[in-house]
Amino acid sequence: MEHAKLLIIDPDREAASTLREQMAQAGFESVHTSSGREGIQRFLELMPQAIILRDAMPGLDGWDTARRIREMSNVPIVFISDRRDVFSMERALHLGDDYLAPPWSWERLAARLNALLRRRREEHDELLAYDDGRLSVDFARRLVALDGRAVHLTDTEFKLLTCFVRKPNRVLTYDELLNQVWGHTHFGAKSHVSLYVRYLRKKLEDDPAHPAYFNTEWGVGYSFRPRVPAAVRGA
């Protein structure tokens, strides 16, 4: 089977060299660049299946690098960091797909990458559409519309909406949503789910303070209540 192409953007050349060796053992073919600007150029040349990105870098930092790549692609981006704080974590999950703070291992990083790539393959293979007369979702083309008007969702917002729409009228726990959208659970991560549910409510609810679609199940998680009639095709 062809190895997945991986782009590593990290100014620490020694750490990146070790990371390349470890990722090769995990079945990835990786290329390293040491700056954000060079990383963007190499991304355009290689079109990798995933990116490992250091958050703190001189010049164009990891945040701006991810933002520019996101303008062109939904490629999975995993941030690696030497620090642990909630603000950096939420920022990384808004711009990318995962965030590894110390202490982290190569095995854990490889597992996260494989989970992200597996979900992307599943999303690509599953041709589903949802339409309840107001909200419509084209999963194959990743298009969302509200009353016929296009709504832009970030990659993470779209993945969360997908989880809800494919399992209507069912209580989805925080851990279940974290596993399906971010590929992990850990203490304090419930705030990620709550933050992105708020984003969806702002974009898709008539009154975000009194949601009709995205219901809070106190102490457990959330549920999605579709309008009737609703149609989900291809499930």
Res 82: pLDDT: 83
Q: How far apart are the first and last CA of the chain?
A: 28
Q: How far apart are CA 18 and CA 165, in angstroms?
A: 41
Res 235: pLDDT: 43
Confidence of residue 1 (pLDDT cuts 50, 70, 90): very low
pLDDT, average across residues 126-141: 81
Tell me the CA distances in angstroms from 29 to 17, 48, 78, one per residue in order: 13, 9, 16
Res 127: pLDDT: 47
CA atoms within 13 A on the CB side of 78: 26
pLDDT, average across residues 70-94: 83
Q: What residues contact 96, with CB distance under 8 A and at least 6 apart? A: 53, 66, 76, 77, 78, 79
Quote the DSSP letter at residue 121: H
CB of 211 closer than 8 Å to CB of 112? no
How much is the mean pLDDT over the chain? 85
213-235 tens-digit pLDDT: 999 998 899 999 987 644 455 44
If one looks up domain 4-123 in CATH, what number appears?
Answer: 3.40.50.2300
Res 70: pLDDT: 81
Q: How far apart are CA 36 and CA 167, in angstroms?
A: 39
Quote the DSSP letter at residue 2: P
If one looks up domain 127-233 in CATH, what number appears?
Answer: 1.10.10.10
User: Which residue ranges make up each domain of the chain?
Assistant: 4-123, 127-233
Res 126: pLDDT: 54
Percent pLDDT > 70 in the chain is 90
Res 186: pLDDT: 56
